[in-house]
Amino acid sequence: MFCLNWIAKTICKLIDIICFIYSNLRYPSRRNKIPSVENDFLLIPAIEIAQRIKEVKLKALDVVKAYLTRIEEVNPIINAVIKSRENAIRDAEAIDEKLANERENQLENLSQLPLLGVPFTVKDTVYVKGMPVCAGLVSRKDETAPEDAPSVFNLRQAGAIPIAVTNVPELAMSFDTSNCLFGRTNNPYDLSLIAGGSSGGEGALISSAGSIIGLGSDIGGSIRFPALFCGIFGHKTTPGIVSTDGKYPTLAPGKAPLFSFGPMCRYASDLKPMLKAMAGPRIECLLKIDSNVDLSKLRVFYMLDNGNPWNSRVASETKNAILKVVSHFEKTYGVMCTNVNLEKMRDSFSMWSASLGEAKGTPMSVLMNDNKGEINLFLEIISKIFGRSSHTAVALGFALNEKIVSLLPKTNKISEIKELKQQLIDILGDDGIFLYPCFPEISVKHDTILFKFLNISYTTVFNVTSLPVTQCPLGLSKSGVPLGVQVAANEFNDHLTIAVANEIEKIFGGWVPPFSVNIK
């Protein structure tokens, strides 16, 4: 066993070294490229924007125009938006007109809307009526959404205004946002780095102040990777709280326990109001969402790595940042923090892969052809080698892996998943949180994720166990890119992770702008 672990660690280290040399030669660091911000309301939380609009101290039209202008400034650099929404201007004008009208019934109705006039963006797999829903597929370049997804509808009912649709990996099955239709999204802190995925367009745009809040989805870390790499907050909700209808590709029923929609934002104070707005009536399932959390009564558990020899080593800066969070809770609140070692967590990637296989959804090779029959994987891979395929290497690799796995004997991981979930339930109870790295490496260069795919085990563990998780920024590394930590809790205890996110922001500063601020 020791010998096998040593071999795995050695191979993994060699891959890391090769990727480091290759990527640094091909993609040298490109920092400080994002234009400065000169408009102060691009830098305030969504809830403050809404309040100022209600008090007629700020016009919704001015806010929407400012964000659309900001998109025009930053998008040529980060390539996060596939299309801006022209009707957003009309929506904002309608709000201002109603507020200008002094009829009391109208004012009273508008004052109750928690996100009145707040711009928001949506990833290109979720329906926004009349907007593209391509899912990064060349074959879907002309497809538009026939209606709003329920989550988008709920946000609009709360007064928010959709302003753009953002880039995703092909079929949203990658943690690097790149496709052959719209190209690659870049990290705003360093354009040579990935922005994460699959909600990578959201992460890059929000961090660049091109959006204030965004709707993401997460089946294996798709909210949390962009939140980590782009230095913002992202929350994977307890499954079932936010409707996941109105998306492409349609979710197979067996994948529902793995999948969630959730909020992405620059400021922790926006997590709860956005989650409540997205969920609509379903928020009643989170009975404690509005309860006050006494941080001194929390129990804190943490792990600094999962011990899997096939994963890259967790960066020392990430470990030190998490230990600072632990130290804060111990010293400030007298909380007992416990370092645990759950051995089953090292196997979370294979658990996740088995769960996807058990779900028996439409094969990737069929989805890649927009459900119009199966692509010829062999021919597509050959075409890709010669630069003539309309599919990404990652998507082809995922489809090939899916095909190979389907031919192998089935591995039943259900009992292992149940055991791990029960372990976490028993440890956390109703007053426990779990601190855990999101990704072992601080930064990932473009074109290297195929060799680092097993590293997503740090996020997939919370998908297979259906736990809510909030990804929180912890400042910047020595190289100037974001650090972060996942904060998990038991099902339906989303309020605990969000409360801790607010505390972490207060102590560690939260989002750090990847640009200069020049407000006169």
Quote the CA–CA distance of 448 and 238 in Å, as a whole number. 31
Q: Which has the closest alpha carbon to 298: 468, 437, 427? A: 427
- What does the DSSP 8-state code read for residue 361? -
Specify the pairing of strand 299-302 against strand 432-436: parallel
Quote the CA–CA distance of 124 and 134 in Å, as a whole number. 6
Q: Which has the closest alpha carbon to 170: 134, 131, 144? A: 134
Does the annotation mark 57 as catalytic? no
Specify the pairing of strand 190-194 against strand 482-488: unpaired
- Cβ burial of 324 (10 Å; 0-12, 13-18, 19+) is middle
Q: Specify whether the CB–CB gap between 447 and 392 falls below 8 A.
A: no
Q: Which two tokens stand for residue 510?
A: 């939260």
Does the annotation mark 123 as catalytic? yes
**Greatest Cα-to-Cα distance within the chain, rounded to the nearest angstrom:** 77
Find the catalytic residue in 151, 198, 389, 466. 198
Radius of gyration of the chain (CA): 22
- The residue count of the chain comes to 520
Find the catalytic residue in 54, 123, 272, 276. 123
Q: How many CA atoms lie within 13 A of 57 on its CB side?
A: 7
Does the annotation mark 23 as catalytic? no
Quote the CA–CA distance of 186 and 178 in Å, as a whole number. 9
Catalytic residue positions, numbered: 123, 198, 222
